Amino acid sequence: VTQTVTAPAHVAPPGRMARFRDSALEASRGTPGRMRLVSAGLVILCLLLGLAGEQAFRATRGSLDRAAANAAQVVRLGELQISLVSADADATNAFLVGGLEPAEQRAHYDAAAQRAAELVAQAARAQPADVQALAALNTAIQAYTGQIELARANNRQGLPVGAQYLRNASSGLRTDALPLLESLTAANQQRVQTEFTHARQAWIALTGVGLLALAGLVLASIWLARRTHRYLNLPLVGAGVVILVTLIAGAVGLLTLGGSVGSVRDGPYTDVQALSEARVEAFDAKANESLTLISRGSGAAFEKAWQVSSATTTRLVEPYPVIKTQWAEYVSAHRAIRALDDSGRWDRAVAAATSRADNSANAKFDAFDDSTSRALTQSAAATDRDLQSAGAWLSLATWLAVAAGLLASLLSWWGLAQRLEEYR
Amino acid sequence: MSAFRAVAATFTAFTVAALGACRSSGYDATPLPKASASATASPSASAATPAVTCANAVQSYTPPSAVPTNLSGYPTVDKIRTRGRLIVGGSATSMLLAARNPISGQIEGFDVDLARQVAKAIFGDPDKIERRVVTTADRIPVLQDGSVDLVISAMTMTCDRWQQVAFSAEYYRAGQKVLVPLGSKATSLDDLGGQRVCAPGGSTSLDKLKTFPDVKFVTAATHTGCLVKFQQGEADAITGDDTVLAGLAAQDPYAKVVGDAFTSEPYGIGVPAGSKDLVRYVNAVLAKTISDGAWKASYNHWLAPALGPAPTPPTPVYGR
């Protein structure tokens, strides 16, 4: 059956590559040659199936981890925005009262500004793709705190220009820093959704690849049956069973996981998004309350901004009865402050807005702050926990997929080796 | 043979699919928001409108001989008395004229004293005032929409503005000067060619500044906004009325007001155009304030340290 190919005498002796090619050509001649090719193809096909399974499980694991990390980044950015806005509310309120700012308020401002700086560093470490935007944000924050220090230095000397520095700082924060934060939050929310989609679609890739492997095996069996007139090759059937089991178990596992991811997305993660946004909007409304008063009669734009933020918060906290009530109480306290200011009693409006007594607007806002903060922490922890538990089996599945690929390729090689034996 | 081809094709498709599954986990960089076109767009910096001619910009409506106590002919004043407070628009940052004292939190100055005189005449209580803080460019709009009764805010009486609002009789004669850094040799806008000079949007100072084509102009919402730009190196000088500049120089020991006044700025109290009765009432209060020495006392308290002892108050011109 084998033929020898001899090189013509006048040609120089063939190199190693040429010799390899020649022997490969020789090995693929005729039916046994083809069998060797089919055997090699099936072995590689099964190994690739193992690798594809490993890839699918590992990528899903990665998607879940990244979804959790991105969700944490969304929460972190929300807290960062709140730190900045509440630092600004502190600074604005201090100027509203007149005189030196109370030491407690100054300490609160300092803590909020420090927290913002820490969160920028943490956010930059958590997501390299955010670094450029965070660097721009850092610049804006530095400009803001610098202007606030100038405002303080001037205020300390009793110079009215201090109030102008405060106004510039506050408007700079709103035109430079907050749009950056909104862009960052939107990008990270988008990333969470992308990873959720990937995790939910992983079964499609695995099923597609598995069906291709199965088709390869079936076609090879048919070809082999026609050539050898033997219809049952047990090792090849075994390989088929291994592939089928891998395919079904993997697809079912990933489909179930997709369902769990869907419940996280529609459950705790929806709460994370709603509460985080509600808090950001609420703190912005609070800062606008002070800015309306400090503008003294020309703050209509700030009150309008308050109404927009307040409406958004009201809509977002609708599903949470306790928080909803707390927010409604703050809203009515704010209305009372506006009523005082609008009827010309600015001094009393300021007193009401800056009071820290029980039942004051500040006390009501603090109650809202406390419960939203607690609820947000719980939802963020639940998101993380549920995503981790949904993918707990993926590490084991990764190794099993590799083992299944190896087993199927061994069986395929064995099955074709039995037939090749018959040609010796 | 065809089965063999099919096996080969399956193999190729499989490889492509397997490679496709290897997805990169890197994200695109978070986009930066687009920079807004202009952060400091002044609301209505009037582009040097052609001067409307009128016989006399300082001419106001004739007041009664004394501040009236019976308000039967003064419906606007009666409405204010019924309301219980006088709503006055003005600055909160113009030191010496109307600025919030950072220590007490109260707004005080020469313009504020005048408002207190009007409130005292209407209510017998100078404290019955609601102050609305308005920017330079918003002084006319708040009078036009009726959200304030009066604007007392270093407002120059011009024929242009008479088209939109009414004015009381002149209560002070200021003049435009320049404020420069301590070491500067400049004494007028002519010496500031190529430099950036700041004036508030919607002010007569800005209109005048625009007539010096060699000087680059920078705007802010108020004169104090100009001082911030001056201190942060965004403006080389500030131009405005001597009264306003005196208040700015008092806050910055590295600034000085130089040269002679190169314009004449008669200040009037702004009143909504339709309220002629209120103008006549305010003019009566103004005449009394000047005659009983309150005007001079207020001037000496606020402006004399920066501008020298009180000049003779302007002689009111009536008959409009």
pLDDT by residue (tens digit) across A327-361? 999 999 999 999 999 888 888 999 999 888 999 99
Task: Say which residue, A390 or B53, is predicted with more confidence.
Answer: A390
Phi, psi angle pair for A89, to nearest 5°? -65, -40
In sign, the C-alpha dihedral spanning A281, A283, A287, A293 is: positive
Q: What percent of chain B has pLDDT over 70?
A: 86
* CB distance A63 to A422 below 8 Å: no
To 5 degrees, how large is the angle CA A28–CA A32–CA A33?
A: 5
* CB distance A85 to A169 below 8 Å: no
> Distance, in angstroms, between B283 CA and closest chain A CA?
25
What confidence score (pLDDT) does residue A2 get? 46
Set of chain A residues whose Cβ sits within 8 Å of the Cβ of B225: 164, 168
Extract the tokens encoding A297.
């009669």
What confidence score (pLDDT) does residue A12 get? 53
What confidence score (pLDDT) does residue A26 get? 67
Set of chain B residues whose Cβ sits within 8 Å of the Cβ of A129: 26-30
* CB distance B255 to B182 below 8 Å: yes
Chain A residues 278-297 with CB within 8 Å of chain B: 295-297
What confidence score (pLDDT) does residue B197 get? 96
What confidence score (pLDDT) does residue B24 get? 45
- CA–CA gap between residue A64 and residue A261 (Å, rounded): 8
* A182 reaches B (C-beta below 8 A): yes
Task: Say which residue, A290 or A326, is predicted with more confidence.
Answer: A326
Nearest CB to B100; choose among A129, A163, A168:
A163
What confidence score (pLDDT) does residue B92 get? 86
- Which residues have C-beta within 8 Å of that of residue A128, sequence separation ≥ 6? none
* CB distance B271 to B320 below 8 Å: no
* A183 reaches B (C-beta below 8 A): yes
- pLDDT of chain B along its 320 residues, tens only? 455 566 556 656 555 555 444 444 578 888 888 765 443 333 343 444 445 567 789 999 999 999 999 999 999 999 999 999 999 999 888 899 999 887 787 899 999 999 999 999 999 999 999 999 888 889 999 999 999 999 999 999 999 999 999 999 999 999 999 999 999 999 999 999 999 999 999 899 999 999 999 999 999 988 999 999 999 999 999 999 999 999 999 999 999 999 889 999 999 999 999 999 999 999 999 999 999 999 999 999 999 988 888 999 999 999 88
What confidence score (pLDDT) does residue A360 get? 93
Residue A299 — very low, low, confident or very high, per pLDDT cuts 50/70/90?
confident
Residue A217 — very low, low, confident or very high, per pLDDT cuts 50/70/90?
confident
Set of chain B residues whose Cβ sits within 8 Å of the Cβ of A66: 25
What confidence score (pLDDT) does residue B38 get? 42
pTM, 2 dp: 0.79
In sign, the C-alpha dihedral spanning A392, A396, A402, A405 is: negative
Set of chain B residues whose Cβ sits within 8 Å of the Cβ of A351: none
* CB distance A140 to A180 below 8 Å: yes
Instruction: Say yes or no to pLDDT of A196 above 60.
Output: yes
Nearest CB to B93; choose among A127, A129, A160:
A160
> Distance, in angstroms, between A47 CA and closest chain B CA?
11
In sign, the C-alpha dihedral spanning A102, A106, A111, A112 is: positive
Instruction: Say yes or no to pLDDT of A412 above 60.
Output: yes
Task: Say which residue, A33 or A5, is predicted with more confidence.
Answer: A33
What confidence score (pLDDT) does residue A207 get? 86
Contact B14 A184 (CB under 8 A): no
Set of chain B residues whose Cβ sits within 8 Å of the Cβ of A215: 10
What length is written for chain B?
A: 320
Contact A296 B131 (CB under 8 A): yes
Question: Percent helix, strand and coil across chain B, each rounded to 5?
Answer: 35, 20, 45
| Alpha helices (H) in B22-109, listed in sequence order | 75-83
What confidence score (pLDDT) does residue B53 get? 61
**In this structure, are strands B98-100 and B93-94 parallel, antiparallel, or unpaired?**
antiparallel
Residue A278 — very low, low, confident or very high, per pLDDT cuts 50/70/90?
very high
> Distance, in angstroms, between A216 CA and closest chain B CA?
5
Instruction: Say yes or no to pLDDT of A92 above 60.
Output: yes
* A137 reaches B (C-beta below 8 A): no
Contact B130 A297 (CB under 8 A): yes
Nearest CB to A34; choose among B4, B20, B25:
B4
Any long-range contacts for B46-51 (C-beta under 8 Å, 24+ apart)? B46/B202, B46/B207, B47/B210, B48/B207, B48/B210, B48/B211, B49/B160, B51/B158, B51/B159, B51/B160
What confidence score (pLDDT) does residue B137 get? 87
Contact A59 B92 (CB under 8 A): no
What confidence score (pLDDT) does residue B275 get? 94
What confidence score (pLDDT) does residue B225 get? 93
What confidence score (pLDDT) does residue A349 get? 93
Nearest residue on chain A to B133, judged by CA atoms? A296
What confidence score (pLDDT) does residue B8 get? 59
> Distance, in angstroms, between B18 CA and closest chain A CA?
5
From A344, A347, A330, A318, select the one nearest A283 (Cα to Cα). A330
What confidence score (pLDDT) does residue B22 get? 45
Contact B3 A223 (CB under 8 A): yes
* CB distance B80 to B118 below 8 Å: no
